[in-house]
Amino acid sequence: MRKNPVAGALLFMCLAWSALTAHAQGAIEVMNSAEMEQQIKTADGKVEVRRAPVKGAVPGTVVVYTTTFRNTGNKPAAGVVIKNPVPANTTLVPASAFGENADISYSADGGKTWAAIDKLKVKTADGKERPAGISEITDVRWSLRGELGAGKQGEVGFRVVIN
């Protein structure tokens, strides 16, 4: 099977549009989607990953959450920070958080404190700290470096596996 790039892009836009609820407050329009990834072997033996609406997601299925944003205003937006909780009944896939030009940090306490993945800690019952496990990550945060110029857009996201 060969991927038609135009059809693929069109499909993705339609999927994105129909699967989400968009909130256009102020200058940045933001959308959030849940999709499945499908791995398809092409004729030349390469594995291609495509996204599709979530359907038949049984435990073990990987779901990709993507937050897409665009500055619809005529001035740049500063201090853009996206936060997205790891949904209940799912576990973050290690090293799956993506987002260009963004510093990614994590929380294991519902978004109260944030740290880089290798510095994230949880408090044990006796008050001591230990490194957080992947299943203990509750939230992911992306802090965009610099401004988001007028008309500019981007996307960030992560993958989870359904418990």
Partner 1 sequence: MGSFVGICAACRWLGAWRGFCAVVCAALLHSGAWAIGTPAGTQIPNRATLEYVYKGKPTTAVAVSAPVVVAKLINPVLSWQDLAAVPVLAGEAARALTFVLTNTGNGTETFQIIRNNTVAGDVFHPVTSTVGAIYIETGGEPGLQTSGPHADRLYVPGVNDITLAADASQVLYVLSDIPGATGEGARGNVSLEARSTTPGAAGAAPGTAFISASNPHVPVTPSSVAVVGLTRGQAAAVGGYMVHGVLVTLDKSVANRRDPTGGTQVVTGTELTYRIVLTVNGTGTVQNLTFSDPLPGGLTYKPGTLVVDGVARSDAADADQAAFAAGVVSATFGDVAAPAVRTIEFKVLVN
Nearest distance in Å: CB 116, partner 1: 20
Residues in the site for partner 1, rule: CB under 8 A?
A: 1, 9-15, 17-34, 36-40, 50, 52-63, 65, 67-70, 73, 75, 77-85, 87-90, 148, 153, 155, 161-163
CB of 27 to partner 1, least distance (A): 4
Distance of CA 134 to CAs 37, 60, 117, Å?
21, 16, 9
Instruction: Select from 125, 144, 132, 81 the least CA-distant residue to 107.
Output: 132
Nearer CB in complex with partner 1: 9/95: 9
- Nearest distance in Å: CB 134, partner 1: 16
Shortest spacing between CB 126 and partner 1, in angstroms:
28
Give the residue with the Cβ less far from partner 1, 54 or 117: 54
Cβ closest to partner 1, residue 9 vs residue 123: 9
Which residue lies nearer to partner 1 by CB, 63 or 132?
A: 63
Q: Closest Cα to residue 66, out of 18, 95, 91, 32?
A: 32
Report the DSSP beta bridge partners of residue 131.
121
CA distance readout (Å), 145 to 33, 113, 124, 156: 23, 20, 34, 13
CA dist 65 and 41 (Å) reads: 23
